[in-house]
């Protein structure tokens, strides 16, 4: 097989079908909004927390659950001026 075919098997593109090792990570984001920290999963709001640490703990718990089931996840945390 070509190098491109091997690459696609290892690093699939979201929505690309019939891949040997498809494991597209779930994307979590923790970002500030007004007085809350919002947690998003694949772009959908899943919770609001009064502290940054609360939002991070919730996201990390979801990620741990995914890892335990063999799935992949990535976490992005937006900074604020007064990170709490």
Give the pLDDT mean for 4-9: 55
Give the pLDDT confidence of 56-74 residue by residue, as tens digits.
999 999 999 998 888 889 9
Query: Is 53 a residue whose pLDDT tops 90?
Result: yes
Query: Is 11 a residue whose pLDDT tops 70?
Result: no
Give the pLDDT mean for 76-82: 81
Query: Is 47 a residue whose pLDDT tops 80?
Result: yes
Give dist(CA 80, CA 2) in Å, integer: 45
Residue 82 C-beta-side C-alpha neighbours within 13 Å:
5
Does this model's pTM top 0.95? My answer is no
């Amino acid at each position: 097989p070509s190098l491109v075919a091997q690459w696609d098997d290892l690093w699939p593109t979201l929505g690309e079908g019939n891949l040997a090792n498809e494991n597209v990570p779930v994307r979590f984001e923790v970002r500030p909004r007004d007085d809350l920290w919002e947690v998003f999963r694949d772009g959908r709001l899943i919770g609001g927390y009064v502290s940054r640490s609360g939002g991070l703990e919730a996201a990390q718990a979801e990620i741990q659950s995914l890892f335990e089931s063999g799935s992949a996840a990535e976490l992005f945390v937006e900074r604020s001026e007064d990170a709490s």
